[in-house]
Amino acid sequence: MKTNSKYIFITGGVVSSLGKGIASASIGRLLIARSYRVTCMKLDPYINVDPGTMSPFQHGEVYVTDDGAETDLDLGHYERFIHTSMGRRNNATTGQIYYSVITRERRGDYLGKTVQVIPHITDEIKRRILAVGEGEEKFDVVLIEVGGTVGDIESQPFLEAIRQFGLEKPREDVMYIHLTLVPFIKSSGEIKTKPTQHSVMKLREIGLQPDMLLCRTENTLSKEARDKIALFCSLRPEMVISARDVESIYEVPVLYEEDGVGDKIVSRLGLKAKEPDLTGWVNFVRKVKEPSAYIRIAICGKYTNLHDSYKSIVESFVHAGVENDARVELKWLNADKMNEENIDQHLRDVSGLLIPGGFGERGIEGKIAAIQFAREKGLPFLGICLGLQCAVIEFSRNVCDMPEANSTEFNPSTPDPVIDLMETQVKVVQKGGTMRLGQYRCDIKAGTHMAAAYKTLTISERHRHRYEFNNSYRDSLESSGLQISGVNPETNLVEAVELVDHPWFVGVQFHPELKSRVLSAHPLFRDFVKACLNFKNERQQLQGEELDEDR
Ligand code: GLN
């Protein structure tokens, strides 16, 4: 087990949703700022093989990687913060771990033995961690986030595996960081350290002693509070960090750096101390917090009451906002509640419309009504995956005189299946991991909004869908003004469409939001926000008054 990589394990306690993903990604950023090569990994305790088969209401967004893995949304945070592409091996679930062990057992690899959690499951967990740290690509540091909360039954094998891992490596190659909550109790006006003490006690019961505590708090912890936590949790006081609440997640690395987290980690791991460069990042955060303009964009989908379902889209708008020196406020519209009669009320106070990806029939007619409004009123539009498919249906119905045009996903017997199941999908019966997934090439047509945005004519983007633009309708739609601006060179699948007579109306079959990064906004989001700002300015000039988007 000899390796040069260092490993940092991040666990969470007290309550869930404390932001372990952001904490891991932020630590990654501090190490990148010191020119270390970093990657991240997420261990997920659920039994699903991947989140691809879970409802977005259960799990939030499914983050698709270049190599076509359907992974946890925290991998999106990692990519956005550390700018390193993740892949299949950067996410391991209980389902995958058991699946490999059971497959091996059936093959006879353990003949004669009883297969058990310790050592077989824990060995498989350790093997997967090492595969990231000792793979072909060399990393100085691998950050491993353990999903769930300490004390959960289902995360026990992972905690046991990382305990063993620490024993099998030199001490200075492995570090444990624990994220907890230090709540403020309003009625007594004090913060409480007991939940953190108990959470660390739980860890120590199973043989894990954290090297650093990140304590989520409303306000910076006093010296007394830090000393007390340190004493009870057996740490040095400087290793107790106040991870106080911040306005933007992008402030977290800056906050950690102010508390010396970067230097403390580097020193604990025996790495060479280096001066961090966070200049670009700090400027980015300033622009997030002090924009020159405001803009409101509608996002119309099915899961709008759970914003985590659209995590990467939300973050893409932050990145694109910064590049346009504007803050994007999202107006969340439930497609279920929208129709031709009320669409004007819903969209009259926005400067752009985004229809995100999705599955199933619910809300489709509302989305189509919204797209018709955007097309007719010159409202900038970005359609992603299902958004492109709905735009094609709307155009076929209302411009090309095919009133019953539809996707066979919503109406299998439509006379005009303008969106249809991909040929490769027809015989597929298994649900897990069988969509068109991951990175595919797309050739862009010169002179289009796509070409203007990307500034190149060959790109590759990530996909997650089963249905596609039906090429038998291509000529008739194109001759009516729907331009095909992107095509896959190998399969001839349509990857992007846009309107010729419209200020900015683009639909893409892929998911651009998965490749937007801090300090490197996705070109389509950047140009979409720019078009929305132009729309707003023109409307303002026409109306000669302040719009209520300006606050
Ligand atoms: N339901 C559509 C399909 O499977 C769109 C998928 C998506 O938006 N990701 O093709």
CATH value at residue 401: 3.40.50.880
Residue 486 lies in a domain: yes
pLDDT of residue 546: 55
pLDDT higher than threshold 90 for residue 133: no
- Do residues 515 and 481 both lie within one domain? yes
φ and ψ at residue 465, rounded to 5 degrees = -160, 165
- Do residues 263 and 321 both lie within one domain? no
State the CATH number of the domain containing residue 113.
3.40.50.300
Summarize pLDDT for 499-516 with one digit per residue, the tens.
Answer: 999 999 999 999 999 999
Residue 504 lies in a domain: yes
- Do residues 158 and 271 both lie within one domain? yes
CB neighbours of residue 536 within 10 Å: 23
For the chain, how far is it from start to end, CA to CA, in angstroms? Answer: 58
- Do residues 315 and 371 both lie within one domain? yes
- Report which of 278, 246, 284 is spatially closest to residue 30, judged by C-alpha positions: 278
- Do residues 372 and 516 both lie within one domain? yes
Which of 263, 283, 303 is the last residue in one of the domains?
Answer: 283
- Structure-derived torsion over alpha carbons of residues 229, 232, 234, 240, reported in degrees to the nearest 10: 0
The residue type of 515 is K
The residue type of 345 is Q
In contact, 352 and 528? CB cutoff 8 Å: yes
Residue 548 lies in a domain: no
pLDDT of residue 446: 97
- Do residues 347 and 302 both lie within one domain? yes
In contact, 243 and 252? CB cutoff 8 Å: yes
Summarize pLDDT for 255-309 with one digit per residue, the tens.
Answer: 999 999 999 999 999 999 999 999 999 999 999 999 999 999 999 998 777 888 8
Q: Cis peptide before 503, with omega less than 30 degrees from 0?
A: no
Show the tokens assigned to 543.
Answer: 């109306």
pLDDT of residue 544: 65
Distance from the CA of 68 to the center of ligand 1, in angstroms?
15
The whole-number average pLDDT for the span 202-214 is 97
CB under 6 Å to ligand 1: residues? Answer: 357-359, 385-386, 409, 464-467
The active-site residue out of 511, 522, 532, 549 is 511
Show the tokens assigned to 336.
Answer: 């279920």
The active-site residue out of 315, 468, 513, 549 is 513
From atom 5 of ligand 1, which residue's Cα is the shortest distance away?
Answer: 386
pLDDT of residue 551: 46
Which of 221, 248, 283 is the last residue in one of the domains?
Answer: 283
> Which of 63, 312, 386, 420 best tests ligand 1's pocket when mutated (most atoms within 8 Å of CB)?
386
Q: How far apart are CA 145 and CA 129, in angstroms?
A: 11
The whole-number average pLDDT for the span 459-487 is 96
- Do residues 325 and 224 both lie within one domain? no
Report, in angstroms and rounded to the nearest whole number, the Rg of the chain calculated over CA atoms. 25
User: Per DSSP, what are the bridge partners of residue 519?
Assistant: none
The verdict on whether 385 is a catalytic residue reads yes
From atom 8 of ligand 1, which residue's Cα is the shortest distance away?
Answer: 357
Which of 239, 264, 283 is the last residue in one of the domains?
Answer: 283
List the 458-465 sheet strands across, edge first: 326-334, 293-301, 353-355, 381-384, 505-508, 494-499, 482-487, 436-444, 458-465
- Do residues 130 and 33 both lie within one domain? yes
pLDDT of residue 549: 60
pTM value is 0.94
Domain count, the chain: 2
Alpha helices in 88-211 (DSSP H): 94-107, 122-133, 156-168, 194-205
pLDDT of residue 425: 82
The verdict on whether 59 is a catalytic residue reads no
Atom of ligand 1 nearest to the CA of 409: 1
- Do residues 323 and 462 both lie within one domain? yes
User: What pLDDT band is residue 2 in, cutting at 50, 70 and 90?
Assistant: very low
- Do residues 326 and 400 both lie within one domain? yes
Residue 26 lies in a domain: yes
Residue 186 lies in a domain: yes
The verdict on whether 40 is a catalytic residue reads no
The whole-number average pLDDT for the span 386-408 is 97
pLDDT of residue 308: 85
> What is the pairing mode between strands 505-508 and 436-444?
unpaired
User: What pLDDT band is residue 35 in, cutting at 50, 70 and 90?
Assistant: very high
pLDDT higher than threshold 80 for residue 548: no
- Do residues 224 and 321 both lie within one domain? no
Distance from the CA of 360 to the center of ligand 1, in angstroms?
8
Residue 482 lies in a domain: yes
User: Per DSSP, what are the bridge partners of residue 299?
Assistant: 332, 354
Q: How far apart are CA 388 and CA 393, in angstroms?
A: 9
| Domain extent at residue 119 | 6-283
From atom 7 of ligand 1, which residue's Cα is the shortest distance away?
Answer: 357
Taking the mean position of all CA atoms in its chain, how far away is CA 352? 22
Residue 544 lies in a domain: no
In contact, 517 and 80? CB cutoff 8 Å: yes
Q: How far apart are CA 513 and CA 72, in angstroms?
A: 15
- Do residues 299 and 270 both lie within one domain? no
Distance from the CA of 284 to the center of ligand 1, in angstroms?
33
Q: What is the mean pLDDT of the chain?
A: 94
Q: How far apart are CA 266 and CA 244, in angstroms?
A: 22
1 vs 231, residue with greater confidence: 231
Summarize pLDDT for 147-183 with one digit per residue, the tens.
Answer: 999 999 999 999 999 999 999 999 999 999 999 999 9
CB contact set of 510 (below 8 Å; sequence gap of 6+): 384, 385, 440, 442, 461, 462, 463, 495
pLDDT higher than threshold 90 for residue 539: no
Distance from the CA of 477 to the center of ligand 1, in angstroms?
21
Residue 550 lies in a domain: no
User: What pLDDT band is residue 65 in, cutting at 50, 70 and 90?
Assistant: very high
For the ranges 4-13, 55-64, 454-463, which has the lowest average pLDDT? 55-64
> Which of 299, 466, 509 best tests ligand 1's pocket when mutated (most atoms within 8 Å of CB)?
466
The whole-number average pLDDT for the span 456-468 is 97
Q: Report CA-CA distances (Å) from 522 to 87, 206, 450.
A: 20, 44, 12
